[in-house]
Structure 1
Amino acid sequence: MEDTLEELKAKIITLEERNIRLMEDLQTAENDKRYSEGELFRLQKDHSRIRAELERLKSPPLIIGSLRDVLPDNRVVVKSSTGPDFVVSVSEYIPPEDLVAGARVTLNKQTLAVMNVLPLPLDPVVTGAEIVEKPDISYEDIGGLAKQMLELREAVEDPLLRPELYAKVGIEPPKGVLLVGPPGTGKTLMAKAVANATNATFIRFVGSELVQKYIGEGARLVRELFELAREKAPSIIFIDELDSVGAKRMDVATSGDREVQRTLMQLLAELDGFTPTSDVKIIGATNRPDILDDALLRPGRFDRIIEIGLPDVEGRTQIFKIHMSHMSIDKAINPRKLAEVTDTASGAEIKSICTEAGMLAIRDGRDTVTERDFFQAKEKVMEAGRNKIKSAPTHMFG
């Protein structure tokens, strides 16, 4: 009897262990099932996505055309890239406000129905222009140009920030501002500082980039440049080296000169198309005002001309203080003394002197710039500047 009880107990223990193993196997099977269901759901999504992509790739190509006119019966006049004008229907998914003359559209290959409206293309030269969403240059970073900055702020900043002032007085602000002066005097810095104060997009373009090889290309770039400015408004267009595209028109000209003149005429037309109180302001800069076309300088285009000359001793002192505030310098250095011995130096040259002085200190293994470093840097930078001036034309700066 005792053996029988022991056998029963052993069998019970064996059954319990088997039951535990079965429960563990069941739990593992349930986990595998959940994993398999999740994997199946993921694979089904991938399968649907791949099928949709395959169907999209197998869809027939669309023809690119241009919209010529909008008719009242939900039909439009289009010109395809492969043929004449057609009167076609419009997809019901296209908002009516997107249908404007001149828009690029896609057309069904068989029916030529308008399927979609494409954005206007922008040339890489335009999109590659230096666009600074918010320049980090402030008014405190510019020295020796207090009067010029006041005139620039009146012409650009006030119309953007306080247009009601001009409305109360009953006058229109200047359309464009032209900065005139030798290289390195702070023309670009002034434009960036105004863009920073107005939270405007800063678009910098060099005039020579608007001069293209083929007929009509330069004018197209000008149109796209101003379209980009409207999209990024409020914005400031800064056209550097304006004389490269705005030179006086001559009676006798080559085909290249005539293309530059077409670009200039497009620029004049764009300047005329802007209202003085718009969110786009134009600033031009040149160091050759004597060769600019008279049409650019007439009232209604570049209304205000600001002359930016070399800084005087007070201006040079301010510029030295601005650049030296970021440097580790000897306390005995007097910015006024440095300004007195750097006559005819531009703001860019003063910045170069400070940089060169810091490099001399690094060369000697020091972390503090001395007065001797500044004087050595001044001799090096100013000597290079004098050599450049000797080789420049005598009429360069009017």
Structure 2
Amino acid sequence: MSYQAKYDEGGRREADRVDAESYLQNLQRRIKSLELQKRNTETELVRLQRENRELRKELDRLRSPPLITAVVEDVLVDGRAVVKSSSGPNYVVNVSHFVNTNDIVVGSRVAMNQRTLSILEVLPFSRDQAVSSMEIVKRPAVSYKDIGGLDLQIAEIKETVELPLKHPELFERVGIEPPSGVLLYGPPGNGKTQLAKAVASETESTFIKVVGSEFVRKFIGEGARIVREVFQLAREKGPSIVFIDEIDAIGSRRIDSEVSGDREVHRTMMQLLSEMDGFDPSGNVKILAATNRPDILDPALLRPGRFDRLIEVPLPDKKGRVNVLTIHTRNMNLKNVELEDVAERSENASGADLKAICTEAGMFAIRESRDYIEEADFFSACNKVLGSYEEKDSESGLIYG
């Protein structure tokens, strides 16, 4: 074989080898691609199988018959329970072994099978939606520094509400029980609600605010039920502060009346008295109330053991008015303003009146296209805000409001 033939044969072999290596590399890349597709397919299969199981569970849940709610009235020694169903009659039923029998107590709500009436689940305590909305989840952003002219009242509410919650050992060492409830009374707009919010903020307690008129309901027994649920919520969320604003709506003096609405209000007040009697004064639930009509409250509310600490929140004096004005004007752009002169002109003004005066003074400045407030603006605001109260001041007496 000639040299040229040998050279051509070697070239063909080299070309075949290169083609074989290239083909092998292509096959290896193809294998890797198929392996990646296989892994992705297996992952997708696992996801679809899991989703299929979840959908089947959801389908089974939707196909399952509804359960009957009932209230446990008695627990028998053999493990069965006497329940009152939502449809009316009482039943003696068995308890599923999946249910912890220690959770079944008198008064608890349970779910029962429609066919066998066996107890399958213990339901949480039912609470009226209106009661749940009374709890203020966000802690009130009010401190004692935001309240002016009430130094004596702040000191009293600290020792009656804050100390028992934060330092109960002080009362144990002295050997006395703290006051059960605190009643704030006085003219409107002087900071009664602010005091309650401040003490809740300082003690880091759950703040439950309710207006007395919210306890007044149309049907017999509804108001008493709301009172029970409010105090039950306070026990669960302890340490907590229950603040009843305008308590005179349900705490007015009882009189002989043939009107069914009056009798229902009296029943609601009796439930409130019963709940207050059942509280431990040294516990972690404190009761505050506010009213501007102390003259019409029932004496039963004010006896020792109930609202036994009465704190008057009067109109601020001149020094107090200066403190209130200082608080309300700390973010205002003032120019040549003597707050003592403004306090002198705003005699018999409440804290709310002083806040309105500051707002009106700012409005007078805006009206004249100024970015600062002068003393004359405050004097004009005093005439505008307090001028409408002259007749009201002459009629004021023991009845606030």
**Residue 213 (structure 1) shift:** 0.9
Q: Tell whether the 8 Å contact from 1:70 to 1:77 is kept in structure 2 after alignment.
A: yes
Q: Tell whether the 8 Å contact from 1:133 to 1:200 is kept in structure 2 after alignment.
A: no
**Residue 96 (structure 1) shift:** 3.6
**Residue 46 (structure 1) shift:** 0.4
Name which one, 1 or 2, has greater alpha-carbon Rg.
2
* Separation of aligned partners in 2, 1:178 and 1:185: 14
Partner of residue 301, structure 1:
306
Among 54, 58, 63, which residue is 1:53 paired with? 58
Among 297, 317, 320, which residue is 1:312 paired with? 317
Q: Using structure 2 for the length normalisation, give the TM-score.
A: 0.93
Partner of residue 104, structure 1:
109
Greater alpha carbon shift after TM alignment, 44-53 vs 291-300: 291-300
Aligned residues: 396
**Residue 134 (structure 1) shift:** 2.1
User: Which SS does the other structure have where 2:161 is aligned?
Assistant: helix
Among 143, 150, 154, which residue is 1:149 paired with? 154
1:265 aligns with 2:265: no
**Residue 59 (structure 1) shift:** 1.8
1:189 aligns with 2:227: no
Give CA-to-partner distance per residue, 1:16-75, whole Å, 9 cap, x none: 332232222222211111111111111011000111111122222211111111222222
* Separation of aligned partners in 2, 1:365 and 1:98: 69
Identity %: 53
* Separation of aligned partners in 2, 1:320 and 1:89: 68
Partner of residue 338, structure 1:
342
Given residue 162 of structure 1, which amino acid in structure 2 is its aligned partner? H
Partner of residue 216, structure 1:
221
User: Which SS does the other structure have where 1:302 is aligned?
Assistant: coil
**Residue 15 (structure 1) shift:** 2.7
* Separation of aligned partners in 1, 2:131 and 2:138: 15
Partner of residue 124, structure 2:
119
User: Which SS does the other structure have where 1:327 is aligned?
Assistant: coil
**Residue 187 (structure 1) shift:** 0.1
Greater alpha carbon shift after TM alignment, 18-27 vs 288-297: 18-27
* Separation of aligned partners in 2, 1:198 and 1:53: 46
Gap runs ≥5 in structure 1: none
Q: Tell whether the 8 Å contact from 1:175 to 1:301 is kept in structure 2 after alignment.
A: yes
Among 168, 184, 192, which residue is 1:179 paired with? 184
Partner of residue 212, structure 2:
207
Partner of residue 399, structure 2:
396
Give CA-to-partner distance per residue, 1:93-117, whole Å, 9 cap, x none: 3334322211111112222222111
* Separation of aligned partners in 2, 1:118 and 1:391: 58
Partner of residue 274, structure 1:
279
Q: Residue 395 and residue 152 in structure 1: after superposition, are their counterparts in 2 closer, same or farther (change >3 A)? A: closer
Q: Residue 85 and residue 379 in structure 1: after superposition, are their counterparts in 2 closer, same or farther (change >3 A)? A: same
User: Which SS does the other structure have where 1:224 is aligned?
Assistant: helix
* Separation of aligned partners in 1, 2:162 and 2:246: 22
Given residue 318 of structure 2, which amino acid in structure 1 is its aligned partner? V
**Residue 185 (structure 1) shift:** 0.4
User: Which SS does the other structure have where 1:87 is aligned?
Assistant: strand
1:383 aligns with 2:387: yes
Among 67, 71, 74, which residue is 1:62 paired with? 67
Q: Tell whether the 8 Å contact from 2:188 to 2:400 is kept in structure 1 after alignment.
A: no
* Separation of aligned partners in 2, 1:383 and 1:37: 82
* Separation of aligned partners in 1, 2:381 and 2:17: 99
Given residue 386 of structure 2, which amino acid in structure 1 is its aligned partner? M
TM-align CA RMSD: 2.1
* Separation of aligned partners in 1, 2:395 and 2:11: 117
Gap runs ≥5 in structure 2: none
* Separation of aligned partners in 1, 2:373 and 2:53: 68
User: Which SS does the other structure have where 2:207 is aligned?
Assistant: strand
Q: Residue 133 and residue 279 in structure 1: after superposition, are their counterparts in 2 closer, same or farther (change >3 A)? A: farther
Greater alpha carbon shift after TM alignment, 62-71 vs 41-50: 62-71
Given residue 50 of structure 1, which amino acid in structure 2 is its aligned partner? L
**Residue 177 (structure 1) shift:** 0.7
Given residue 144 of structure 1, which amino acid in structure 2 is its aligned partner? G
